[in-house]
Homo-oligomer: A and B are copies of this chain.
Amino acid sequence: MSESPNFDRVALIGIGLIGSSIARGVRKMGLAKEIVCSARTADTRRVALELGVVDKAFEHSEDAVKDADLVIFCTPVGTYVKIAEEIAPHLMKGAIVSDVGSVKQTAIDQIEPFMPEGVSFVAAHPVAGTEKSGPAAGFAELFYKRWCIITPSKTSSEAATARLSAFWTALGSDVEVMEARHHDLVLAITSHVPHLIAYNIVGTADDLEEVTQSEVIKFSAGGFRDFTRIAASDPTMWRDIFLTNKDAVLEMLGRFTEDLAALQRAIRWDDGDALFQMFSRTRAIRRQIIDAGQETGEPDFGRAVKPGSDT
């Protein structure tokens, strides 16, 4: 099936990093006649209009969704119920409603029950982002060669799923369709637990008495620096992710701490062989991620200087 990725009016609820990146991509690829958004704060609406990423910016989401044939929730998962309730009476018959949240079963449970007859809800998750927030942080290429996971549910018609797939493909993504619960498990280990750990180590370092904060900052190039990047991500969004993907996160976290206890024991008992074995096998995974195009093979040392230009 070759469904069209084009829409008349795309309405983005929220215009932060992801919302504004979608808006830019839609504009760049000519996927909509009109792009509108809603945002609660006047300043955000002003910035979005000034940047020219949307044609209109509304305070209330119900105004944005009018006449929209594609509506995308680009707000933290914790806002879904309230917004779904607000927009439901104003949705156009035949509209597709989607989201970009990092937890999919909750998105379905919270949005789908409010959808009126004739509206298809199709949950989606573009696995892309940076540690920046806000409408100015977005860019059209954010989704390019990144995976977008679509998790259809009860009200997702086949045609709507196909159109949303075509839409994300047009934005440059590779699309994968998956069951929502499985998505939540995969993301718990590839995204949610890594973020929790990064937040945690940065917090631990901040609390030390023997080592000053200025020392932590000065000598961060030894590895710590990379964790702070992740730990700079939007706090509201991540709070909601942990609260809504609780079971999968706790399950994966349990495994992580078990494994960490084993490593800790190997250190305590001078088991160099166990450490070496563990450290060797993780190298192979890195190689595969680079081969899969999800990362460059360039060494990263915290600044943009071309290495290797000398003898």
Measured CB to CB, the closest approach of chain B to A305, in angstroms, equals 5
Contact in complex: B286, A228 (CB < 8 Å): yes
CB contacts (< 8 Å) of A232 on chain B: these are: 282-283, 286-287
Known: A227-B194, A270-B243, A302-B294. A221 touches B288 (CB 8 A): no
A239-268 vs B, CB cutoff 8 Å, 1 = contact: the mask equals 110110010011011011101110110011
Contact in complex: A190, B224 (CB < 8 Å): yes
Measured CB to CB, the closest approach of chain B to A249, in angstroms, equals 6
Known: A199-B279, A249-B267. A295 touches B235 (CB 8 A): no
CB contacts (< 8 Å) of A132 on chain B: these are: 299
CB contacts (< 8 Å) of A142 on chain B: these are: 301, 307
Return the 5 tightest CB-CB contacts between A and B, nearest first. A191-B222, A130-B299, A235-B279, A232-B286, A139-B307
CA distance A53 to B307 in the complex (A): 15
Copies of chain A in the complex = 2
Contact in complex: A239, B275 (CB < 8 Å): yes
CB nearest neighbor in B for A102: B222
Known: A225-B294, A302-B296. A141 touches B307 (CB 8 A): yes
Which of B130, B191, B200, B276 contacts A236, CB < 8 Å? B276
Contact in complex: B53, A289 (CB < 8 Å): no
Measured CB to CB, the closest approach of chain B to A127, in angstroms, equals 5
A19-34 vs B, CB cutoff 8 Å, 1 = contact: the mask equals 0000010011000000
Q: Does A131 contact B (CB under 8 A)?
A: yes
Contact in complex: A272, B310 (CB < 8 Å): no
Contact in complex: A220, B176 (CB < 8 Å): no
Q: List 8 A-B contacts (CB under 8 A).
A: A131-B299, A186-B215, A186-B216, A191-B222, A200-B263, A203-B282, A235-B283, A239-B272
